[in-house]
């Protein structure tokens, strides 16, 4: 039985576990139908031209992981940004684990999707926001159909959340292969500010497939700062679908750091539903071996006077492949839009490859839109300069690559994350220098 | 001084009529509508073709039957009814002309209207011409001068009869019969086109030129051009097109194949001005063209195009850089107005080492038109030190038009150096103000800016064509190009 059939038939089993009378269940039933119709995307679809899911779909994933899998904090401490105080929502094999987490209901809600879906006091928010901006493509629909657990964050008006929120998903691999479908909902009301860090980590050599959907609502003048750290092991694959709806004068930024995983696909979608909005999408990708990272971004400018900034850097070694597919749509009404998109890549091996497609679709005339894209190598004269001053080849290379990705790092607002990323980059490049020269 | 604003310009663009929309009443010989194997055979017979050609056409036809029309382009249109058009139409006065004096005077009148008096051309000693009306080549000038150098420049039907070895060797090598839907259709039914062969080491002394015109109603034009530049030779080739104004959509599906052998250079320029349809978007030519060139070692192919006409344009002149050190270039200006839709760009396929390609594409959209750039830069794993530079800029006039870019960049070699840049903007008020301040009125200022915007491409056109291209741009610049 292939994975699609398996998923469709396990939906019946899933119905036994959840409350089928809630209005959410209609959404789920609708979604499974959409998935059944469309199936997994194939390379024939334009958006999946350069990424094939075939190799990761052939495993026999268990859709409902066994219930309890305990982890000791000391074993997984290194996956947290542990040197800062933060709220934590931690899941092990898709199940919430309270002893690693730190949630709150004190003047805001940082808690669980399962609770939010079940309890009446969240009903209004769920009705207004759940599955409202996620697109109806097959993978998001699949997630919607099985949506039951994930992070639920609701920040009310005029609230500055002092500490960041970490959302971490662990896969323990006690099963042979596991498929996880976390569903996150983040609502940030007027004038509020929040910082969120998301990470998916597999602790096993068994294959793990995560198909995650995150919906983020940044209301009037809200500030949302989101970091995705993707440094998973090489049997773990991630399909991340993130949808961000922005209201007027809100500021949202998403930084994606992709260093690991077998296949990583980031579908990042921004919808600007208001004036004077600012959106930032940045990413650093450094991969090797046979890894594959695909960034698929969309910024939809719907109203006037908005800005968007995209900056993706990629370094590809060994037989790694990279894909960047960035799309900017400017509606007819969205005059005075400022949209900027850049994608720079370095290939450091003969077998590595990169496919990039920066797209602009513009229907308004009074706009400034530009995109730039480059593929190149490390500058030999710069290498020579450093080597002639006694810096070994490896370190010199690492320095250049770090400098190359520094543009993205410089806008990271949590210093601890910046340090952590710098460290990961150093490990990735196999050097012991700290770059804080 | 009355103030000339961008709105006035837009208004003018809207109302400006298609100048070449006349119809010449020439008796012509038209096939019944529809397409089947018999029609393909009949076309082949009419052209007195040898059997291998007939079979080649039939093979293409069979492929075509299996294919479906592509839908990926960013254009919306009513699909043509392929059984509703006539696949062959020829002026039937007299098939062959030995000198211009024998040419039907009506035909000469047509050329005069087109602004290409053959007489004048002859005296100016500038351009050798092949004129194709409704699919059939009617006149080729300067044959004698060219043949002294060993250059073959004639209609493709003549080439099939007189130089079958060359045609057989090269036709379909760059654009295979089953390359795509329209190429397959063209391979089956092409009625005429130009053929050009430049022998080893010869530098063609003049510009070669073909003029295409669709005259008859309800016909499709399917011409095939084959240009072969043998080792070390050089040729500059020009192509121009017009059609009468008609309410129905006419189909134009051409195939152009260029072959540049070692050290050869081909420069191919097009001024495309098919009837774009009226201001309400009715009528106009569907222009579905496959153009591709193959570069051997050290060869160079340069495409320059000025696209102002056609209701729908679907055209991607491409270069396959097969030989080491070969060079591919693509310079394009695409102007769309009213309800025109253009999806145009190029493919640069780098196979050889040290290959270089340059892409400069300028899109100007006005009215309710949609203008897309779609390009592919592909660096294969053995193409060491490949270099590409792409730049596509769009200028928008009015807020009902759209400009889109779809660049595909695929690199499989670490030594590749690729740059891609794209910008979209309108004519800035500050730019106009700057000009006004220095005593340049708004009309001139707009002209100046649009001209500057397209200059990089206009400069690449040969002299004879640059003049005409500027004339065409006048549609948007109105009397201020100088």
How many A×B Cβ pairs under 8 Å? 114
B346 CA: distance to closest CA in chain A (Å): 14
Q: pLDDT at position B16, please?
A: 54
pLDDT, residue B197, reads 92
Check CB contact of B16 with chain A, cutoff 8 Å: no
How does residue A220 score in pLDDT terms, banded at 50, 70 and 90?
very high
Instruction: Give me the phi and psi of B237, to 5 degrees please.
Output: -125, 135
Lowest pLDDT segment from A320-329, B31-40, B257-266, B368-377: B31-40
Please report whether residue A163 resides in a domain.
yes
Backbone phi, psi, residue A112, to 5°: -110, 145
Q: How close, in Å, is residue A394 to chain B by CA atoms?
A: 18
Is A99 in the same domain as A224?
A: yes
Q: Is residue A24 part of a domain?
A: yes
Tally of CA atoms within 13 A in the half-sphere of B115 that contains its CB: 12
Q: A interface toward B at CB cutoff 8 Å?
A: 46, 50, 332, 335, 345, 347-377
Give the three-state DSSP class for A266.
strand
Task: Search chain A and give the residue with CA nearest B368.
Answer: A363
Q: How confident is the model at residue B214, as a pLDDT?
A: 64
CB distance A382 to A369 below 8 Å = no
Q: Specify the range with the lowest mean pLDDT, choosing from A158-167, B211-220, B289-298, B395-404.
A: B211-220
Please tell me the predicted confidence (pLDDT) of residue B465: 66
pLDDT at A242 over 80: yes
Q: What is the DSSP letter of B86?
A: B
Place of tokens 């929040």: A194
In a domain, A329, yes or no: no
Domain span holding position A382: 378-437
Best residue in A49, A362, A367 for a mutation probing chain B (most B CBs within 10 Å): A362
CB contact B415 to A (< 8 Å): yes
Q: Look at phi and psi of residue B319 and say left if phi exceeds 0, alpha if psi is from -120 to 50, else beta.
A: beta
The answer to whether residue A284 sits within a structural domain is: no
Q: Name the strand (E) or helix (H) holding B296.
A: none
Q: Which of A216, A281, A279, A280 is closest to A249 using CA atoms? A: A279
pLDDT at A176 over 80: no
> Taking the CB of residue B34, how many other CB atoms lie within 10 A of it?
14
Residues A261 and A395 in one domain: no
Contact residues, chain A, for B424 at CB < 8 Å: 360, 362, 367-370
What share of chain A in percent tops pLDDT 70?
A: 97
pTM for this predicted structure? 0.81
Whether residue A371 and residue B72 make contact (CB cut-off 8 A), yes or no, is no
| CA dist list (Å): A130 to A61, A127, B206 | 27, 6, 70
pLDDT at A437 over 90: no
Cross-chain Cβ contact A360/B405 below 8 Å = yes
| Residue of B73, B371, B411, B417 best to disrupt the A interface, most CBs of A under 10 A | B411
On the question of pLDDT at B297 being above 70, the answer is yes
Q: Which residues pair with B28 in a beta bridge?
A: B91
Confidence of residue B49 (pLDDT cuts 50, 70, 90): confident
Contacts of B305 (CB under 8 A, 6+ apart): B269, B270, B271, B272, B315, B317, B331, B332, B333, B334, B344
Instruction: Answer whether B409 sits within 8 Å of A367, measured CB to CB.
Output: no
Most A CBs within 10 A among B380, B409, B417, B421, hence the mutation to make, goes to B409
Give the range with max mean pLDDT: A1-15, B111-125, B403-417.
Answer: B403-417
Number of Cβ atoms within 10 Å of the Cβ of A38: 16
pLDDT digits (tens, 9 = 90+) for A38-71: 889 988 888 898 998 888 888 888 887 666 667 7
pLDDT of residue B123: 38
Nearest-angstrom CA–CA distance, A432 and A399: 11
Whether chain A has a CB inside 8 Å of the CB on B410: the answer is yes
Taking the Cβ of residue B183 and every Cβ of chain A, the question of whether any pair is shorter than 8 Å is answered with no
Q: A403 and A261, same structural domain?
A: no
Q: What is the ipTM of this complex?
A: 0.76
DSSP A291-311: -EEEEEEEEEE-SSS-EEEEE
Domain end position, chosen among A273, A289, A320: A273
Residue among A306, A341, A301, A308 nearest A325 (CA): A341
B416 in reach of chain A (CB within 8 A):
yes
At B146-194, the pLDDT tens digits run 788 888 888 888 888 889 899 989 988 998 888 888 888 888 888 778 8
Question: Taking all residues of chain A, what is their mean pLDDT, rounded to a whole number?
Answer: 89
- DSSP of A98-143, one letter per residue? TTT-B-B-SSSEEEEHHHHHH-GGGHHHHHHHTTSSS--SHHHHHH
Interface list for B 57-76 with A (CB within 8 A): 72
B223-247 pLDDT per residue, tens: 888 999 999 999 988 887 666 666 6
Q: How many domains does chain A have?
A: 2
Where do the structural domains in chain B lie, given as residue ranges?
6-477
CB neighbour list of residue A73: distance below 8 Å, 6 or more residues apart: A99, A100
Q: Which residues of B touch A342 (CB under 8 A)?
A: none
Phi and psi at B333, nearest 5°, equal -120, 125
A36-46 pLDDT, tens digit each = 888 899 888 88
């Amino acid at each position: 039985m292939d994975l699609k059939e398996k998923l469709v038939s396990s939906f019946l089993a899933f119905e036994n576990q959840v409350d089928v009378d809630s209005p959410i269940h209609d959404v789920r039933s609708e979604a499974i139908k959409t998935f059944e119709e469309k199936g997994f995307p194939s390379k024939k679809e334009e958006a999946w031209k350069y990424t094939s899911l075939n190799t990761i779909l052939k495993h026999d994933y268990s859709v409902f992981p066994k219930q309890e899998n305990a982890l000791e904090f000391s074993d997984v401490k290194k996956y947290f940004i542990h040197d800062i105080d933060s709220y934590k929502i931690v899941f092990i094999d898709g199940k919430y684990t309270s002893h690693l987490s730190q949630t709150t209901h004190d003047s805001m809600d940082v808690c669980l999707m399962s609770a939010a879906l079940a309890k009446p006091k969240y009903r209004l928010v769920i009705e207004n926001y759940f599955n409202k901006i996620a697109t109806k493509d097959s993978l998001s629909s699949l997630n919607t159909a099985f949506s039951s657990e994930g992070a639920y964050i609701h920040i009310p008006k005029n609230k500055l959340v002092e500490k960041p929120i970490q959302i971490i998903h662990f896969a323990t691999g006690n099963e042979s292969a596991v498929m996880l479908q976390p569903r996150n909902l983040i609502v940030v009301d007027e004038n509020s500010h929040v910082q969120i860090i998301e990470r998916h980590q597999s602790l096993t050599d068994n294959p793990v497939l995560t198909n995650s959907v995150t919906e983020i609502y940044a209301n009037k003048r809200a500030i949302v700062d989101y970091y995705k750290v993707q440094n998973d092991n090489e049997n773990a694959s991630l399909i991340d679908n993130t949808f961000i709806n922005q209201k007027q004068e809100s500021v949202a930024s998403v930084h994606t750091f992709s260093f690991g995983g077998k296949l990583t696909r980031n579908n990042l979608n921004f919808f600007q539903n208001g004036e004077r909005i600012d959106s930032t999408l940045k990413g650093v990708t450094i991969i090797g071996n046979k890894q594959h990272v695909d960034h698929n971004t969309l910024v939809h400018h719907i109203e006037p006077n908005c800005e968007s900034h995209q900056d993706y850097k990629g370094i590809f070694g060994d037989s790694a492949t990279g894909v960047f597919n960035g799309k900017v749509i400017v509606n007819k009404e969205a005059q005075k839009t400022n949209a900027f998109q850049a994608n720079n890549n370095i290939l450091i091996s003969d077998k590595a490859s990169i496919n990039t497609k920066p797209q602009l679709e513009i229907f308004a005339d009074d706009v400034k839109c530009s995109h730039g894209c480059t593929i190149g190598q490390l500058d030999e004269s710069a290498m020579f300069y450093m080597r002639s001053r006694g810096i070994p080849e490896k370190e010199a290379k690492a320095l250049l690559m770090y400098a190359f990705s520094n543009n993205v790092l410089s806008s990271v607002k949590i210093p601890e994350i910046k340090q952590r990323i710098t460290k990961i980059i150093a490990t990735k490049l196999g050097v012991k220098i700290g770059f804080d020269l | 001084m009355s103030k000339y604003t961008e709105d006035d310009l837009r208004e003018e663009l809207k109302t400006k009529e298609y100048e070449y929309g006349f119809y010449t009443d020439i008796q012509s010989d038209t096939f019944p509508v529809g397409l089947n194997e018999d029609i393909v055979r009949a076309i082949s017979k009419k052209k007195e073709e040898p059997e291998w050609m007939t079979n080649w056409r039939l093979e293409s036809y069979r492929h075509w039957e299996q294919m479906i029309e592509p839908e990926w382009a960013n254009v919306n249109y009513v699909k043509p009814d392929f059984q509703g058009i006539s696949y062959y139409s020829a002026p039937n006065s007299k098939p062959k002309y030995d000198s211009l004096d024998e040419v039907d005077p009506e035909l000469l009148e047509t050329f005069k209207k087109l602004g290409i008096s053959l007489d004048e051309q002859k005296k100016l000693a500038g351009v050798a011409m092949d004129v194709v009306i409704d699919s059939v080549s009617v006149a080729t000038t300067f044959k004698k001068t060219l043949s002294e150098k060993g250059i073959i420049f004639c209609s493709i039907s003549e080439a099939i009869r007189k130089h079958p070895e060359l045609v057989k060797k090269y036709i379909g090598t760059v654009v295979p019969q089953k390359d795509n839907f329209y190429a397959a259709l063209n391979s089956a039914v092409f009625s005429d086109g130009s053929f050009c062969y430049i022998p080893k080491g010869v530098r063609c002394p003049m510009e070669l030129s073909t003029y295409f015109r669709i005259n008859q109603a309800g016909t499709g034009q399917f011409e095939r051009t084959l240009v072969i530049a043998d080792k070390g030779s050089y040729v500059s080739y020009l192509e121009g097109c017009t059609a009468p104004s008609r309410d129905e959509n006419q189909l134009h599906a051409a195939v152009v194949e260029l072959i540049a052998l070692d050290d050869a250079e081909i420069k191919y320029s097009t001024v495309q001005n098919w009837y774009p349809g009226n201001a309400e978007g009715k009528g106009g030519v569907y222009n579905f063209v496959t153009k591709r060139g193959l570069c051997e070692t050290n060869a160079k192919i340069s495409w320059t195009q000025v696209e102002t006409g056609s209701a729908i344009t679907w055209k991607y002149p491409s270069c396959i850089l097969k030989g080491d050190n070969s060079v591919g270039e693509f310079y394009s200006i695409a102007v769309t107005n009213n309800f025109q839709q253009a999806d145009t760009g190029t493919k640069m396929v780098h196979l050889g080492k040290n290959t270089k390609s340059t892409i400069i594409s300028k899109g100007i959209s006005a009215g309710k038109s949609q203008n897309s750039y779609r390009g592919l830069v592909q660096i294969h794993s053995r193409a060491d030190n490949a270099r590409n530079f792409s730049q596509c800029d769009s200028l928008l006039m009015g807020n009902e038009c759209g400009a889109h870019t779809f660049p595909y960049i695929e690199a499989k070699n670490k030594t590749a150096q690729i740059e891609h840049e794209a910008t979209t903007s309108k004519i800035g008020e500050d730019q106009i103000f700057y000009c006004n301040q220095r005593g340049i009125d708004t009309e001139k200022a707009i002209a100046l800016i649009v001209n500057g915007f397209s200059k990089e491409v206009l400069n690449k056109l040969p002299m004879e064509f640059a003049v005409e291209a500027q004339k065409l741009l006048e549609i948007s610049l109105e009397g201020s190009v100088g």
